[in-house]
Amino acid sequence: MEQGNKRPDNMKRITTAALANAFIDEQVKALREQIGDKKVLLALSGGVDSSVVAALLIKAVGNQLTCVHVNHGLLRKGEPEQVIEVFRNQLGANLVYVDAVDRFLDALAGVSEPEQKRKIIGKIFIDVFAEEARKLDGISFLGQGTIYPDILESHGVKAHHNVGGLPEDMRDFELVEPVKLLYKDEVRVVGKALGLPDSMVYRQPFPGPGLGVRCVGAITRDRLEALREADAIVREEIGKLPVTPWQYFCAIPDIVSTGIKYENGKGVRYMGWAVVIRAVNTVDAVTATVPEIPFSVLCTMRDRIVKIPGVNRVLWDISEKPVATIEWE
């Protein structure tokens, strides 16, 4: 592991606003020294890591930062709108919003193999990001939301691997990674001190391919929209519990089953999708257990979810890891 990627043994765990503010002051100074009067580019997903990096860079170098938010159509309900509201409207960032929904979903049409879906999503994201970067002049730095577990898990090479995904003409960017020595809980404390909204700071873990790995099998737009609506209901209702699980979401398998609906007082059979509710507790995501969800909460979610067009069944996944994975794909 490179020396600069080693967390000092005497570094205090950031658990308070005072420690977070001290870290922010230290990083603002370091960022200004590193960047000078040059420009920085950041892919801003809206997740906690990239959002905290964006807020730090805005505080340090202001309009020298350009954020690119790529909407690939696989984000959770309201996330693109929140990125625009927080960073463009509230923090005054130079934010480039790219609506690439059709580009991603057209390329994913008919593709059911999970790894192939991931590769398509990853490649198009890099292509879109690179296209936007080429429209900008004088970019010298690339901001990244690398955190310490990324470095530990990849023995210090993940950051360079990320850059390696870019085209040749973009690999000369110098990296800016202000939270690379922090654990996820510390990043959240720093985000809170920076004034980011709780819904962003405490956002649940979300896979890179987004809802693409929860819309199981070949993605269709109608099933994807049903998933997005169901996911919002699950996050809202379970989020009301006094103690919430580590992660909770839903998936829609690529199957249909018989349902019944009433039209003019007459029962009509039809084929519809099942929504699977998933909630887990874990320390390291290597193993995971399933917490109890009050039956009344499950029923409330059921009653709301079956009103989504195309959905006629709600299931609760009680599988632990191992043998099941946390995500469905």
Rounded CA gap, 211 and 251, in Å? 8
315: nearest Cα among 326, 307, 305, 324: 305
Q: How far apart are the first and last CA of the chain?
A: 31
142, with CB counted inside 10 A (0-12, 13-18, 19+), is buried
pLDDT, averaged in runs of 10, over the chain (329 residues): 75 94 96 96 92 96 95 95 94 94 97 94 92 90 88 53 58 88 92 94 87 96 97 97 95 95 87 97 88 97 97 97 93
For the chain, domains (ranges, CATH) are 3-201 (3.40.50.620), 214-317 (3.30.300.10)
Rounded CA gap, 233 and 297, in Å? 11
The phi, psi pair for 316, rounded to 5°, reads: -120, 120
What confidence score (pLDDT) does residue 159 get?
37
The phi, psi pair for 43, rounded to 5°, reads: -80, 115
What confidence score (pLDDT) does residue 156 get?
40
182: nearest Cα among 194, 193, 190, 174: 190
Structure tokens at 115: 């790894």
What confidence score (pLDDT) does residue 242 get?
95
Structure tokens at 54: 């964006």
What confidence score (pLDDT) does residue 2 get?
57
DSSP character at residue 87: I
Residue 117: C-alpha distances to residues 121, 145, 175 (Å): 6, 23, 28
Structure tokens at 5: 């990627």
CA 193 to chain centre: 21
